Amino acid sequence: MSQGLDLTTAYPASVKEKLHGIVQLQRTIDKGHAKVHGNIGEYHYNCPMDAAVFSFLGIGHEALLAVIDKAQNPQEIADYVKPFVEKKSPAEIAAWNEQWLRHAPEPGSDGEKYFLELRSSVAPERTDVTAWADLLDLDEKRPVPQRVAA
């Protein structure tokens, strides 16, 4: 497959973008593609967010990386992950997506410290942003609707 997405000059898909109805999956594939081609930049393939989608779907991260490496086109990768998604019920997928889009760092954790530092550097006025999906979209210059504080 071509060099494709270069994460040293572009952003991966938003966490919110769906592949086969699953959030995070296209972003994970984008990072895997960049890793295979040596242009992943500051991103990390199989980070905790990727690992969560792998766990939910039962996909091995090394196996997916091998498929990405050998794929002639994006459809081959989508075809590989589709049977894993099809094992989930619509209710399981809906629950995963809803939970994942609200996923926030654990209070008092190193993750929360990093989250707050990143939010302060990207959009310090956006204290309404408490979920990773929204913060990553802000960091990657995507619009994020203003939320009402909980």
Are 71 and 23 found together in one domain? yes
> How confident is the model at residue 2, as a pLDDT?
47
pTM: 0.92
| Under 8 Å between Cβ of 58 and 84 | yes
Are 84 and 110 found together in one domain? no
Both structure tokens of 10? 């572009």
Q: What band does 1 get if pLDDT is binned at 50, 70 and 90?
A: very low
Are 89 and 117 found together in one domain? no
Q: Which domain holds residue 38?
A: 1-103
Are 54 and 115 found together in one domain? no
Are 11 and 83 found together in one domain? yes
Are 127 and 147 found together in one domain? yes
Strand partners, 18: 23
Are 1 and 60 found together in one domain? yes
Are 23 and 83 found together in one domain? yes
